[in-house]
Amino acid sequence: MSDIAKIIGQRIRNYRTGLGLSQERLAELSGCHPTYIGQLERGEKNATLESIEKVAAALHVSLSVLFEKLGAEEGAKNSIPLLCYELLSSKPREEQEQLFCILQQMEKYRNK
């Protein structure tokens, strides 16, 4: 399957686990079959925009956030800032804030 399907699938999984939802519960909330959710998360299915919209709504994530930073340059796959973005964007808001504070403290300490 394409890289984009795998990236979107991983993002769906990250948001789902961040909310503490099972694949079955996400399927219920989105009106999709649990098997389909698993296939999406593994990047095995090319989802329709309609199904992605349903899943995003069930995750309380906008489509713009779900598709954010896609289509970056091919060399960007090893880009540390983009990898950090992927990691941070997969975490709940509270954890994002904590990680950001840690980075700020590290930067502050380094500049002393």
Looking at residue 111, its pLDDT comes to 82
| pTM confidence score | 0.71
- Percent of all residues in the chain with a pLDDT value above 90, rounded to a whole number: 48
Looking at residue 62, its pLDDT comes to 93
- pLDDT tens, position by position, 27-53: 999 999 999 999 999 999 988 999 999
With CA atoms as reference, report the closest residue to 77 among 6, 1, 29.
Answer: 6
DSSP summary character for residue 70: T
- pLDDT tens, position by position, 100-112: 999 999 998 888 7
Contact (Cβ atoms closer than 8 angstroms) between residue 98 and residue 20: no
Contact (Cβ atoms closer than 8 angstroms) between residue 48 and residue 20: no
Average confidence (pLDDT) over 92-97: 85
Structure-token match 């993002």, residue found: 11
pLDDT over 90 at 79, yes or no:
no
- pLDDT tens, position by position, 20-30: 999 999 999 99
- What are the backbone dihedrals phi and psi of residue 22, each rounded to the nearest 5 degrees, phi first? -80, 165
Structure-token match 């925009």, residue found: 49
Looking at residue 71, its pLDDT comes to 67
